[in-house]
């Protein structure tokens, strides 16, 4: 039998929104049934990001056992707002709700998670480290005490400054980048120059820089440069959040796309970018180092 830790967290599919498990889960999460429940599923959920947990056997995905629907942040530093969270009764106390909270934190490590709940679930949120306080009355349950819950970000993102350049270099040198890369010849002065030419972000945890990225304008697009995350902070969504921060800048500036180049000695990271929506391009890279093998160029078109 597949255990809770092996159950994949994944986006809900359109077909599942019509299925009995999602209806049961949304009834548990919203307290609605009948037409009101149908309105929640068909009117509310399309505007939210919805993740589910289910078994996976022989490559076939099972019906959802747990669900989390949340409003994703639109800009760096905005909160993740958890609107619905539920686990089927027969699968409660298996850690599935905790896995969903962990999954959305990994997707948005630079954002705090905000939720509202009642006495029945407040202990769950407190066990996960949420700070809690009095919440507004919910008209669905008049007279029921409500709480607001907030879980601080896994890492905070902010614009990089010249004073960050030594810490950025330290992060870069902590990575497993191939020694053949020109990465290792970078100096603090180089980083100061790049920052002056463009801008960038750092990710901090407990006052320490654990991730970084820079970007520069090139025509009608933004070029992403120097993405790095400390080894002990990998696998927590920090790199994805830094890439998303650059994309947010590009979108706010009306840029058509984000471009990046991966050196020939670091091609194993290409799949990371492809999973974020970047596609291989044949165009040359204007930032390629002279005398080095041509890098792999990846581009992501931004929604108009």
pLDDT at 3 over 60: no
Out of 121-125, 213-217, 281-285, least confident range: 281-285
Greater confidence (75 vs 216) lies with 216
Tell me, yes or no, if the pTM score tops 0.75. no
Decide the pairing of beta strands 296-301 and 221-229: unpaired
Structure confidence by residue, pLDDT tens digits, 108-124: 878 899 999 999 999 99
Nearest to 106 by CA among 49, 46, 39: 49
The length of the chain is: 304
What is the structure's pLDDT at 292?
Answer: 66
What is the structure's pLDDT at 1?
Answer: 37
Give me the sheet containing 279-281, strands edge to edge: 156-159, 199-205, 208-218, 221-229, 257-262, 296-301, 279-281
Query: Distances in Å between the alpha carbon of 174 and those of 19, 105, 111, 169, 183?
Result: 47, 24, 25, 9, 11
Greater confidence (86 vs 155) lies with 86
Please report which confidence band the pLDDT of residue 2 belongs to, taking 50, 70 and 90 as the band edges. very low
In sequence order, what are the residues at sequence separation of 6 or more whose Cβ sits closer than 8 angstroms to the Cβ of residue 290? none
Structure confidence by residue, pLDDT tens digits, 288-297: 565 667 789 9
pLDDT at 150 over 50: yes
Out of 13-17, 78-82, 231-235, least confident range: 231-235
Query: Distances in Å between the alpha carbon of 172 and those of 183, 192, 276?
Result: 8, 14, 21
What is the structure's pLDDT at 5?
Answer: 45
Tokens 């919440």, residue located = 135
Q: What is the mean pLDDT of residues 180-189?
A: 86
Structure confidence by residue, pLDDT tens digits, 10-55: 999 999 999 999 999 999 999 899 999 999 999 999 999 999 998 6
Separation of alpha carbons 27 and 168, rounded Å: 48
**CA 291 from centre of chain:** 37
Nearest to 11 by CA among 51, 68, 44, 42: 51
Separation of alpha carbons 99 and 187, rounded Å: 41
Separation of alpha carbons 238 and 120, rounded Å: 32
Q: What is the mean pLDDT of residues 129-153?
A: 90
What region, left, alpha or beta, does residue 58 occupy, with left being phi > 0 and alpha being psi -120 to 50 degrees?
Answer: left
Query: Distances in Å between the alpha carbon of 95 and those of 83, 101, 122, 208, 248?
Result: 19, 10, 16, 31, 33
Please report which confidence band the pLDDT of residue 4 belongs to, taking 50, 70 and 90 as the band edges. very low
What is the structure's pLDDT at 109?
Answer: 79
In sequence order, what are the residues at sequence separation of 6 or more whose Cβ sits closer than 8 angstroms to the Cβ of residue 223? 198, 215, 216, 217, 258, 259, 260, 261, 287
What is the structure's pLDDT at 291?
Answer: 60
pLDDT at 61 over 60: no
Percent of the chain with pLDDT over 70: 92
- Cβ atoms within 10 Å, residue 258: 25
What the chain holds in terms of domains, given with CATH numbers, is 4-151 (3.40.630.30), 156-301 (3.40.630.30)
pLDDT averaged over the chain? 88
Out of 35-44, 117-126, 176-185, 217-226, least confident range: 176-185
What region, left, alpha or beta, does residue 209 occupy, with left being phi > 0 and alpha being psi -120 to 50 degrees?
Answer: beta
Please report which confidence band the pLDDT of residue 195 belongs to, taking 50, 70 and 90 as the band edges. very high
β partners of residue 51: 11, 68
């Amino acid at each position: 039998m597949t255990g809770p830790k092996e159950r994949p967290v994944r986006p809900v599919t359109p077909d599942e929104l019509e299925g009995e498990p999602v209806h049961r889960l949304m009834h548990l999460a919203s307290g609605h049934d009948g037409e009101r429940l149908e309105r929640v599923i068909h009117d509310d959920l399309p505007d939210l990001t919805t993740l589910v947990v289910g078994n996976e056997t022989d490559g076939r995905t099972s019906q959802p056992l747990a669900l989390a629907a949340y409003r994703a942040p639109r800009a760096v530093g905005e909160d993740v707002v958890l609107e619905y969270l539920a686990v089927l009764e027969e699968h409660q106390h298996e850690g599935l709700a905790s896995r969903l909270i962990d999954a959305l934190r990994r997707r948005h490590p630079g954002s705090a998670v905000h939720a509202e709940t009642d006495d029945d679930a407040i202990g769950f949120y407190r066990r996960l480290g949420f700070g809690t306080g009095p919440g507004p009355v919910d008209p669905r349950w008049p007279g029921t005490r409500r709480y607001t819950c907030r879980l601080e970000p896994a890492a905070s993102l902010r614009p990089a400054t010249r004073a960050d350049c030594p810490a950025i270099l330290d992060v870069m040198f902590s990575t497993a980048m191939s020694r053949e890369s020109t990465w290792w010849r970078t100096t603090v002065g180089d980083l100061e120059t790049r920052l002056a030419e463009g801008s960038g972000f750092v990710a901090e945890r407990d006052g320490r820089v654990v991730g970084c990225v820079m970007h520069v304008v090139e025509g009608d697009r933004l070029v992403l440069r120097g993405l790095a995350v400390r080894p002990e902070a990998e696998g927590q969504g920090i790199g994805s959040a830094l890439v998303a921060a650059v994309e947010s800048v590009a979108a706010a500036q009306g840029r058509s796309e984000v471009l990046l180049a991966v050196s020939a000695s670091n091609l194993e990271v290409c799949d990371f970018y492809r999973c974020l929506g970047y596609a291989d391009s044949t165009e040359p890279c204007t930032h390629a180092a002279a005398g080095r093998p041509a890098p792999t160029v990846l581009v992501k078109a931004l929604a108009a």
